A and B are shown apart, each in its own frame.
Chain A
Amino acid sequence: MTKNYYLIKKTALEARKLIVSCISDAGSGHPGGSLSMVEILGCLFHNHIKYDPKKPYWNKRDKLILSKGHGSPGLFSYLAIMGYFKTSQLHTFRKFGSILQGHPDLKCPGVEFCGGSLGIGLSFSIGDALAAKIDNSDRHIYTIIGDGESNEGQIWEAAMTATKYQIDNITVILDRNYVQQDSQTEDVMPLDIHSKNNNKTYTVSDKWRSFGWNVIDIDGHKIEQIDKAIKESKKTKNAPTIIIAHTIKGKGIKHMEQNPNWHGQAPKHEFLPIISTELESQFMISPSIIAGSSIDLEHKIKACKDAKADCIHLDVMDGIFVKNKTFDFKKIKELRKITTLPFDVHLMISNPLTHMKKYIDAGSDIISVHAESCNESSFGEIHDILINNNVGIGLAINPDTQLPKWSYKFLPTINQLVIMSVFPGKSGQKYIESTHSKTQKIIKLLSKHKFGGYIEADGGICNANLRQCFIDGARVFVGGNAIMGQTSVKNAILEFKNIIFNTIQNLLLSKANSIGGKDLVTKWINLHNEEKTTLLNNIATDLRYL
């Protein structure tokens, strides 16, 4: 289980929006490297760094050293979200008199290091870590360095020093996004080297390993992987740890992704509403592993992992709330051992409150309970228990259930609303068409009540209705037979993602068209690379926007 998984997802989205808007407001700044480390920052702030925004100089605090200082919009956005200052202050970024300088400055509460000139922060962190050792303090230092930054020789001076002094109170995270100002890192100054001498490849991870560091390679956008790696780093004794977080520069905004032009360029104001829609289009594929013919759940989880599913949907049926019976918390506990993938647990059981603790302890990342099995009081209790245990809160409603009035007050903190498009109880049913209009209606209600979570479409989701479900507003898609019942889970998930990707492109073009007509549509298309421009031109022509 990853603590606060859904909360981190939520603040990561908020951070991305803040990054883009503050850079756009400033007219300059570095979006690419800010967007690539958002999940890393989220994980650090929510789950690892000891801090108190009201007492930024609290002497028991941990320290976050952003060595790649040009990622300041990322850092500042998270500092604001975590309460160091108001998010509205982000609009002073890079402006006269602001505490939010172009690069991090101690003027800003929460900033521990004046980054900007690259290569210095790791040595600086080592100094702080050595001081903590002298003082017998349990302070932990978290340092984020860049891959372009790793061209600096001083990084490797520091690398040697950290192992000499067996510094284990430091966790370094390399934001390995493969892009620096001029071009791809591997073109400017390769970090992964292929030796023509012995025909071997030495990656940047090999380099760090050869310096005596504990090296952990992860996908730097997967919260569960970041969290696990940081936990491991804190347990490692007598050696420093570096987490090589493989990330995507400009992550979340397609035209910026892996494009060196967006290392240090501000997006124009006119694109912000489209970018905002794009960021809100992030989605998750959550395969339901009870679907499909096999009963080997472990095997199915492995298939989901290989197919890059975002989470695992676990349908718990007790034979009382629904006729069928599947498995309970004991099975979840077993499955927890084999994967870090988030568990999206759907409790189709009666009296869920009495079982809540067991499902939390089993390792659920989010627990959705049925509105039909709760009332205001029991859901309130469930809600509080989940919040206190840093587990996501889900509420599910059956096809013939409307969103209950008593749930409104919980909407701002609910992480997921599961709108069932089949009657729960067994897999393989057909999607109930009226769910589309129901979802659209509920969406309006949700925004009125400040809902900030995901809508999960669950029941009969397949290639045929996926597109409309996305347009309705669903962002988590439970794949039953359409994924787990297929010969290749990987291809099925890929197809899901393709359909959604195309739907998003339509959505963005339609947004551009609605606010700026043909002119804005053209400008938006031209932001993209050649290959994507052709695709977008075709879609826009089909939609008669051009």
Chain B
Amino acid sequence: MNTKLTDMRTAYGNMLIKLGKSNKKIVVVGADTTNSLKISSFGKIFQDRFFNVGIAEANLVSIAAGLSNAGKVVFASTYAIFVPGRCVDQIRNAIAYPSRDKKKGLNVKLVVSHGGISVGADGGSHQQLEDIAIMRTIPNMRVLIPADSISVSELTYIMSKKYGPFYMRMSRSKTPIIYNNSQKFLIGKGITLRDGTDCTIAACGIMVKMALDAARLLQKDGISCRIIDMFSIKPLDEKILEKAARETGLIITCEEHNTMAGMGSAICEIIADTYPVPIRRIGIKDQFGESVRDHEMPLLFKKHKLTSNDIASKVKEVRK
């Protein structure tokens, strides 16, 4: 395992340029955060296929819908807090709802950065902790939360090839590389990063790394943990979860999101329907975030009991 830190947004921006060269239908739309999202370089190369609509997110999302209605493959990007939180109406009615023949929803990819509390210094107003809840309840919408920059590149590529609306959340901070370049990703399929028999930890986004670290801690105590990257929150991999429930008897979910209606809740729903076992959800307990400087980030994670130690403790507590 490599501990090199890389930037998800750079991976996203670079992949868009790569895709833009071969696929003339790709159009990118931003809302005054195009440098931050690393999409402005796409605009420099493909001037006619890039639009910056200003600080107007409802407009951003709806223009993206209009472009896709005319056959474009549209990537619309800004910060997470301004997309699901601000534009749920436009996302629902202009992107997810319009369906023609077998095409469900329009071909818009909402790719956002700055999800979760790891946004840090900008504070609670900017820390989107409700996006999974909002987006996963919208029919035709698919929800992805990648764990590293390799996942981001691959998922960006997959979204460009697969028709329909997607929401993908990236983190602000640089993240450790988890995958190697040959890793295959499939929408609706989780990835088992580590096998185990005593318990399963299902995580998404930057919490995947926390879960892997927790598994190493637990190994020292003789507890064998299975780790699954649930980057595809919708559709969710029912098979891998049912198998984990059957084989390990306990599931811990980890997400940088409200524990209500997020990934953990989605997993509860599946497990309740398939092979009920105890589940514990680690996440933000119905609260807002707050400002921290980057070097203070562990304090915020500690406060919300999101560190690898907290995850390990939770496993031990439940197994008692």
Residues of A within 8 A of B (CB): 105-107, 112-114, 116-117, 119-120, 123-135, 139, 153-154, 157-158, 160-161, 164-165
The answer for the CA separation of A129 and B70 in the assembled complex, in Å, is 9
Instruction: Give the residue of A117, A128, A130, A161 whose beta carbon is less than 8 angstroms from that of B59.
Output: A161
Find B69's partner among A107, A112, A134 (CB 8 Å cutoff). Answer: A112
Query: In the complex, which residues of chain B have a beta carbon less than 8 angstroms from the beta carbon of A135?
Result: 70-71
B54 and A161 form a contact (CB under 8 A): yes
Q: Are A123 and B99 neighbours in the complex by a CB distance under 8 Å?
A: no
**A156 vs chain B, min Cβ distance (A):** 9
Residue of B nearest to A136 (CB): B48
B169 at the interface (CB under 8 A from A): no
Chain A: which residue is nearest B24 at the CB level? Answer: A134
Residues of B within 8 Å of A160, CB to CB, are 54, 56
Indicate if the CB atoms of A128 and B69 lie closer than 8 Å: yes
Residues of B within 8 A of A (CB): 27, 48-49, 51, 53-54, 56, 58-59, 61-72, 74, 89-90, 92-94, 97-100
In the assembled complex, the CB of A49 is this many whole angstroms from the nearest CB of chain B, namely: 16
In the complex, which residues of chain A have a beta carbon less than 8 angstroms from the beta carbon of B68?
127
Of all chain B residues, which has the CB nearest A106?
B100
B58 partner residues in chain A, CB cutoff 8 A: 119-120, 123, 153-154, 157
Q: Is the CB of B94 within 8 A of A114?
A: yes
A130, A133, A153: the one contacting B63 at CB < 8 Å is A130
Q: Check B63–A127 contact: CB distance below 8 A.
A: yes
CA distance A292 to B256 in the complex (A): 84
Known: A106-B98, A114-B93. A124 touches B54 (CB 8 A): no
Q: List 21 A-B contacts (CB under 8 A).
A: A114-B94, A116-B93, A117-B94, A120-B58, A120-B65, A120-B89, A123-B58, A123-B59, A123-B94, A124-B63, A127-B63, A127-B64, A129-B66, A130-B51, A131-B71, A134-B27, A135-B70, A154-B62, A157-B58, A157-B59, A165-B51
Contact of A123 among B63, B74, B89, B98 (CB under 8 A): B63
How far, in Å, is A123 (CB) from chain B's closest CB?
Answer: 3
Taking CB as reference atom, which chain A residue is nearest B108?
A127
Q: Which residues of A contact B61 (CB under 8 A)?
A: 123
Q: Looking at the assembled complex, report how far the CB atom of A211 sits from the nearest CB atom of chain B, in whole angstroms.
A: 13
Q: How far is the CA of A130 from the CA of B68 in the complex (A)?
A: 11
| Residues in A whose Cβ lies below 8 Å from that of B97 | 114
Q: How far is the CA of A117 from the CA of B94 in the complex (A)?
A: 9
Chain A positions within 8 Å of B54 at CB level: 157, 160-161, 164
Residues of chain B within 8 A (CB-CB) of A134 are 27, 48-49, 72
Contact A124-B72, Cβ < 8 Å, known A134-B49, A154-B59, A165-B51:
no
Q: Given the complex of chains A and B, what is the CA–CA distance between A158 and B61 in angstroms?
A: 11
* Contact between chains at B63 and A161 (CB < 8 Å): yes
Chain B residue nearest to A119 (CB atoms) is B58
Identify B94's interface contact among A107, A112, A124, A131, CB under 8 A.
Answer: A124
Q: Which residue of A lies closest to B61 (CB)?
A: A123
CB-CB under 8 A from A126, the residues of chain B are: 63, 66
A130 to B65 alpha-carbon distance, docked (Å): 12
Closest to B99 in A: A106
Pairwise interchain contact B66-A127, C-beta atoms closer than 8 A: yes
**Cβ distance B287 to chain A, nearest Cβ, rounded Å:** 30
Closest to B72 in A: A131
Q: CA separation between A139 and B66, bound complex, in Å? A: 14
Known: A114-B94, A157-B56, A157-B58. A130 touches B69 (CB 8 A): no
A113-B70 Cα distance, complex, nearest whole Å: 11
Are A123 and B66 within 8 A (Cβ)? yes
Give the 8 A-B CB pairs with smallest separation, nearest first: A127-B66, A131-B70, A123-B62, A157-B56, A157-B59, A124-B66, A127-B63, A127-B67
Told that A131-B66, A131-B70 touch, could you supply 9 new A-B pairs with CB distance under 8 A?
A: A106-B99, A113-B98, A114-B97, A126-B66, A127-B65, A127-B70, A131-B27, A131-B71, A161-B56
State A44–B41 Cα separation when bound (angstroms).
41
Q: Which residue of chain A has the shortest Cβ distance to B89 in the bound complex?
A: A117
Contact of A131 with B67 in the complex, beta carbons under 8 Å:
yes
Given A117, A125, A129, which contacts B93 in the complex, CB threshold below 8 Å? A117
Within the complex, what minimum Cβ distance (angstroms) separates B143 from chain A? 21
Cα-based distance from A134 to B25 in the complex (angstroms): 9
Which residues of the partner chain B approach A116 to less than 8 Å between Cβ atoms? 93
Q: How far is the CB of A138 from chain B (nearest CB, A)?
A: 13
Q: Known contacts A134-B49, A157-B54; decide if A120 and B69 are in contact (CB<8 Å).
A: no
Chain A residues in 8 Å Cβ range of B62? 120, 123-124, 127, 154, 158
With A113-B98, A161-B54 given, is the CB distance from A125 to B66 under 8 Å?
yes
Measured between C-beta atoms, what is the minimum distance from A129 to chain B in Å?
8
- Separation of A501 and B274 alpha carbons in the complex (Å): 72
Write out the residue numbers on chain B whose beta carbons fall within 8 Å of the beta carbon of A133.
48
Residues of B within 8 Å of A106, CB to CB, are: 98-100
Contacts of A105 in B (CB 8 A): 98
Specify which chain B residues have a CB less than 8 angstroms from the CB of A124 in the assembled complex. Answer: 62-63, 65-66, 69, 94
Compute how far the CA of A116 lies from the CA of B56 in the bound complex, rounded to whole angstroms.
Answer: 20
Given A106-B98, A131-B27, A157-B66 contact (CB < 8 Å): no
- Distance in angstroms between the alpha carbons of A126 and B66 in the assembled complex: 7
Complex Cα–Cα for A125 and B67 (A): 8
Nearest chain B residue, comparing its CB with the CB of A126: B63
Residue of chain A at shortest CB distance from B71: A131
Most chain A beta-carbon neighbours within 10 Å: one of B67, B70, B99: B70
Assembled-state Cα–Cα distance A130/B27 (Å):
10
State how many angstroms separate the Cβ of A243 from the closest Cβ of chain B.
20
Bound CA–CA A120/B71 (angstroms): 19
- A121 (CB) vs chain B CBs: closest residue: B62
- Residues of B with C-beta under 8 A to A165: 51
Q: Give bound CA distance, A112 to B106, whole Å.
A: 12
Residues of A within 8 A of B98 (CB): 105-106, 113-114
Of all chain A residues, the one with the shortest Cβ separation from B76 is A127
Question: How far apart are the CA atoms of A113 and B62 in the complex, in Å?
Answer: 11
Nearest CB of B to A271, in Å: 34
B53:A130 contact, CB within 8 angstroms: no
Chain A residues with CB under 8 Å of B53's CB are 157, 161
In the bound complex, residues from chain A placing their C-beta under 8 Å from that of B66 are 123-131
Q: Which residues of A contact B51 (CB under 8 A)?
A: 130, 165
Per the bound structure, the CA–CA distance linking A113 and B61 in Å amounts to: 14
A179 to B12, CA, bound (A): 47
Please tell me which one of the listed residues A107, A112, A128, A139 contacts residue B67 in the complex, with CB atoms under 8 A apart: A128
| Set of chain B residues within 8 Å of A113, measured between Cβ atoms | 69, 98
Chain B residues contacting A164 (CB-CB under 8 Å) are 54
Nearest-Cβ distance from residue B237 to partner chain A, whole angstroms: 31
The residue in chain B whose Cβ has the minimal distance to the Cβ of A115 is B93
The residue in chain B whose Cβ has the minimal distance to the Cβ of A112 is: B69
Kindly name the residue among B49, B54, B66, B100 whose own CB sees the greatest number of chain A CB atoms within 10 A. B66
Which residues of the other chain, A, contact B69 by a CB distance below 8 angstroms? Answer: 112-113, 124, 127-128, 131
| Assembly CA distance A161 to B54 (angstroms) | 8
Cα distance A129–B64 when bound, in Å? 11
Alpha-carbon distance A516/B48, docked complex (angstroms): 65
A135 to B69, CA, bound (A): 13
